[in-house]
Amino acid sequence: MSTPPTPPVLTPVGEGTVRISWTREESVDVVRREIAAALLEHARVEVWVDPDDEAGQRVATWSGMRREGVARGVTVDGDAVDRIVYARLATDVPAETPEGFRSLLNSFLPRKRAISQMLVRDEADRVLLCRLTYKQDWDLPGGVVEVGESPQLAVAREVEEELGLTIDPGPLVLTDWLPPWGGWDDALCLVFDGGVRSPSLLDDAVLQAREIREVAFCDAAEVRERCADFTARRVEAALAALGGTGAGYTESGR
């Protein structure tokens, strides 16, 4: 006769919180039932799963636990390791409902960072660039889109915060994919049309001191001189797309 699998183990780890563990042979149904029973007495049930344990990740997910992130360098059996943290709260919407299932999927499906920038030109076709405090390269005005924020509204907010200028963004000019680089995950950079403006626009600029050193309208040669290669390529690609001679999608400006 085969030996039945060891039932899941619940270990208190804090007030109202228990951590569940199970053997590799355990089924989703058993883990789901144990979690449901534990939530009758506890506010939170969590599990730490080895990033290499794909089966454990599947069981955690389909038993209704939401992925919360990666705990780095936690101590397990005396070793510093990384563990994916999944948890279910007593107040979570049931996973079998449409809202609960969407929330479950949302917890582990990929998310991509978005950056919104604005392409502002003057009558001489020079481009508005910012010299940043945290790097030597110049860049288009803009910044990271906040969670739940419209990219178009985000670029207007960033320009107002960084330069003290109120400019209504026009249509999307370019979508530029940025590959992982220097500790950053990949991202999508969305460049919106800021229109043609008089150079006197900068007379009203109020620079955010902690981020912006300087701002100027730059010609093509200055763009190449002052910007990182991938930024210069993005500016050139955005101008080409705006003029109808280039694609609306690039990867690192190409």
What is the pLDDT at residue 5?
63
Non-local CB neighbours of 138 within 8 Å, separated by 6+ positions? 129, 130, 131, 132, 218, 223, 226, 227, 231
CA distances from 177 to 185, 208, 219, 254 (A): 11, 27, 24, 9
Name the architecture of domain 113-251. Alpha-Beta Complex (3.90)
Round the average pLDDT of the chain to a whole number and report it. Answer: 94
Structure confidence at residue 4 (pLDDT): 62
State the fold for domain 9-108. Answer: Aminopeptidase (3.40.630)
Q: How confident is the model at residue 2 (pLDDT cuts 50, 70, 90)?
A: low
At residue 3, the pLDDT reads: 59
High-pLDDT (> 70) share of the chain, %? 98
Has residue 36 got a pLDDT over 70? yes
Return the closest-CA partner of residue 159 out of 178, 180, 188, 139: 139
User: Looking up tokens 């930024």, which residue turns up?
Assistant: 231
Is residue 65's pLDDT more than 80? yes
Find the mean pLDDT for residues 173-180. 96
pLDDT band at 136 (very low <50, low <70, confident <90, very high): confident
- pLDDT of 134 reads 87
Distance CA 25, CA 247 (A): 52
Ranges for all domains in the chain classified under CATH 3.40.630.30? 9-108
**86/65 Cα distance (integer angstroms):** 6
Q: In the chain, which segments carry CATH 3.90.79.10?
A: 113-251
pLDDT at 39: 97
Distance CA 41, CA 44 (A): 9
pLDDT value of position 135 = 85
Over residues 91-134, the pLDDT tens digits come to: 999 999 999 999 999 999 988 999 999 999 999 999 999 999 98
pLDDT digits (tens, 9 = 90+) for 218-230: 999 999 999 999 9
